[in-house]
Amino acid sequence: MNATRAILVLNAGSSSIKFQLFKGDHSLLRGQVDGLGTDPHLLVHDDAGTALADRVLSAADAACHETALGAIVAVLERHAPDIAIRAVGHRVVHGGPDHADPVIIDDTLLETLAGLEPLAPLHQPHNLAGIRAAQTAFPGTPQIACFDTAFHRGHPRVVDTFALPAAFYDEGVRRYGFHGLSYEFVAGRLAEIAPELAQGRVVIAHLGNGASMCALRNGRSVSTSMGFSALDGLPMGTRCGQIDPGVLIYLMQERGMDGDAISDLLYHRSGLAGLSGVSSDMRTLEASSDPGAELAIAHFALRIRRETGALAAILGGLDAFVFTGGIGEHSAALRARVCAEMDWLGLALDADANRAQDTRLSPQNAAVAVYRIETDEERMIARQARRLIDV
């Protein structure tokens, strides 16, 4: 019997590897290893949601990405023995200025992507560690990089430049944008749900531990809130979002903070966690009576409204608004808070639809249609991989 050809998708983080196995556009298995090097735990489900594995691993079994991937391979061998991995697709957060499409990975590309690690220090090193682990686990199998920045590469220079001497843009100091895999998937889903709206002026809010927003026209990125790094725009779980660069000069000159200290502050000790003093998790903040939690939520919602206005101005109006990401998909309270003061732009929610987590959240006669669409970055990676590999 011939083996079924499939694509394995890997999304490697600092302490985890998420994976999903696809036959065509159908997910066969999904799971993750969390707690790499500390308290590793393996969780795997089949396409029906049935748990196939849910167990603690020894530290030695998941001390790093390579050993964790070994545990994943063992699961695949046990629960999908008739599957032949035709390609491995990887989420790579930063592709730099030159990558607008998925690409088969070679040593030269790996070296180039490693040079971008300072621009995405929370993600890029771990993405590349996952690639190297997969090269060892699946020798000779094409490894395909799918970039979070690629969706935004069609912007004109006027959108992506900073007001710095032109030589800096030529050297790569420019706006890149992120969460592109999520935006591409959600834009495709909106085209299925409401094709006429999808061709118009749309803002998508990807709200999670990492958060950004994107303006689209006819399904293509026009502008986005994140810029040179994954720090810009909205506040996030532990990241600051937009900040006056004068603050950084002050911290260096008056507080004596060096680059490493400032990086730690902006990436790890700011955002919802830093502002609230409670947590980076929206669920914890919404359940808290601490005034800091309320301040963090209010600030987050305010920044979303501010960015919505800016993106609508770039689009020349707004036809549809989409919530996605962990917070955007699940927090009815945050969605209501964002829309409550946006009636001037035409945003309105049906309270019952919002509480019920429906797909369409706005009344049928609303000037701007509001949707809640679940994103699926792993499925988008599999689709992009199939552009390059016949499966």
Can you tell me the distance from the alpha carbon of 259 to that of 346, in angstroms, rounded to the nearest whole number?
Answer: 43
* Strand 143-147 to 103-104 pairing: antiparallel
DSSP 3: P
Can you tell me the distance from the alpha carbon of 25 to that of 30, in angstroms, rounded to the nearest whole number?
Answer: 13
Can you give the residue ranges of every domain in the chain? 4-147, 193-377
User: Domain spanning 4-147: which superfamily?
Assistant: ATPase, nucleotide binding domain (3.30.420.40)
Can you tell me the distance from the alpha carbon of 346 to that of 364, in angstroms, rounded to the nearest whole number?
Answer: 12
Average pLDDT for 273-300: 98
Report residue 43 as tokens: 């969780």
Helix or strand run (H / E) with residue 68 = helix 65-79
Whether 322 and 308 have beta carbons less than 8 Å apart is answered as: no
pLDDT in tens, 239-282: 999 999 999 999 999 999 999 999 999 999 999 999 999 999 99
Whether 159 and 217 have beta carbons less than 8 Å apart is answered as: no
% helix, strand, coil for the chain, step of 5 = 40, 20, 35
Per the annotation, the verdict on 148 as an active-site residue is yes
What Rg, from alpha-carbon coordinates, does the chain have? 21
Report residue 81 as tokens: 């023995």
Hey, what CATH topology would domain 193-377 get? Answer: Nucleotidyltransferase; domain 5 (3.30.420)
E strands of 98-210, at which residues?
Answer: 103-104, 143-147, 201-207
Is residue 12 classed as helix, strand or coil in its secondary structure? strand
pLDDT for position 63: 84
Can you tell me the distance from the alpha carbon of 143 to that of 107, in angstroms, rounded to the nearest whole number?
Answer: 11
Q: pLDDT-based confidence at 328, cuts 50/70/90?
A: very high
Phi, psi of 253 (to 5 degrees): -80, -35
Q: Count helices and strands (H / E) in the chain.
A: 16, 13
pLDDT for position 44: 94
pLDDT in tens, 343-381: 999 999 999 999 999 999 999 999 999 999 999 999 999
pLDDT in tens, 102-137: 999 999 999 999 999 999 998 999 999 999 999 999
Q: pLDDT-based confidence at 177, cuts 50/70/90?
A: very high
DSSP 228-239: SSTTSSS--SS-
Report residue 54 as tokens: 């849910």
Average pLDDT for 204-227: 97
Of the residues 39, 47, 106, 148, which is catalytic?
148
Block residue for tokens 């549809």: 320
Block residue for tokens 């955002």: 271
pLDDT for position 65: 87
